Amino acid sequence: MKTITTIGLGYSGSSAIYEFLQKTNFFFDPFPNSEFSLTYDPGGVIDINTCIANKFTPNKTKIVFDQFKKNIKFYTNKSHGLKPGKGLKIKNYDFEKILYEYLDSIIHLKYEGETLYIKHNNSRSENFFKKLAFKFNKKIKGQMLFFCDEDQFKQKTIDLFKNLFFLNNEEKKDVIIDQGGTIWNPYSSTIYFDNPRCFIIFRDPRDIFSEFKGKAAHRYPGNDVNIFCSWYKKIISQIDENEVKKSNILKLNFEDFVFNHKETVSSISDHISTNINPENVEFDLLRPKKNVSRYIQDLSKEEILIIEKELKNFLYI
């Protein structure tokens, strides 16, 4: 089984390629139209691995463990009111229970204890309750823990994802997930998946800023073109080029997907060893085409000139 994932920056156009692959009906999508970020979220799989392998301290272990528990709520709870959530679920299975069982399986030891640092980071109400209980001769002890060793952790994590992606996958198709890794570390953020094949998608920064300016300023720098250019340079500079060169990683341009569609789909097919005929896929190519060169209408001449000067090496020509 192959695990195929599309990866890109915000408004990179990666969702169009993900949707195209969805519509081929060659793949099983365990979490349709949801970004699958379990490996790289703060306190996620990568942070646990790092804590085990070379950044161990008892305090870090406790913090990463607690953060992963918070992440479980983020993944499984739906958005409500002012509290966002992903609302991920698996038909006929308790996804939350599966994640808690996984977390418990990677613990080597739990013991009573609480460092001064951990106490400092507890909520005021929690520390007050413990202090009040102590006055009545009832000591409420904290809990510390150690993770299992790295080899065990990696195997249990690989097993977790393999099992998740097989649930309800009755035809045992190759799996597709959206944003299953990061563009900065596309290889190391996907090594826990079974036979991963990754597409990292880039897009002309003029159109990206056009999207940011139009509707995404609350998440990205969309109000000031100079800040955007600095942001974009920094983001791109953090990409590990050695990881991008790995054989299971393929770089794509959103514009090529639109204007050189057959050739790009051919490259996609070769990369995942699946013969996809774009003429047999009911995908509306006109929709993403409308988002190419939108900057001409959306940006001022001054903004365009600044981006073309500052980010000239990243423009799609």
Looking up tokens 């994802």 gives 161
129 domain residue, yes or no: yes
Local confidence pLDDT in tens for the 317 residues of the chain: 899 999 999 899 999 999 999 999 999 999 999 999 999 999 999 999 999 998 899 999 999 999 999 999 999 999 887 788 999 999 999 999 999 999 999 999 999 888 888 877 776 666 655 565 555 666 666 789 999 999 999 999 999 999 999 999 999 999 999 999 999 999 999 999 999 999 999 999 999 999 998 775 577 888 899 999 999 999 999 999 999 999 999 999 999 999 999 999 999 999 999 999 999 999 999 999 999 999 999 999 999 999 999 999 999 98
What is the pLDDT at residue 314?
96
Range of 69's domain? 57-157
Q: Which residues of 35-55 are buried (b: 16+ CB within 10 A; e: fewer)?
A: bbbbbbbebbbbbbbebbeee
141 domain residue, yes or no: yes
What is the pLDDT at residue 63?
94
127 domain residue, yes or no: yes
How many CB atoms neighbour CB 63 within 10 A?
Answer: 18
Q: Which residues of 98-133 are buried (b: 16+ CB within 10 A; e: fewer)?
A: bbeebbeebeeeeeeeeeeebeeeeeeeeeeebeee
151 domain residue, yes or no: yes
Q: Which residues of 182-213 are buried (b: 16+ CB within 10 A; e: fewer)?
A: bbbbbbbbbbbbeebbbbbbbbbbbbbbbbbb
How many CB atoms neighbour CB 277 within 10 A?
Answer: 11
Please state the domain count of the chain: 1
| CA gap 18, 197 in Å, rounded | 13
36 domain residue, yes or no: no
Closest of 185, 207, 184 to residue 292, by C-alpha: 207
98 domain residue, yes or no: yes
What is the pLDDT at residue 26?
95
What is the pLDDT at residue 116?
84
pTM above 0.95, yes or no: no
118 domain residue, yes or no: yes
47 domain residue, yes or no: no
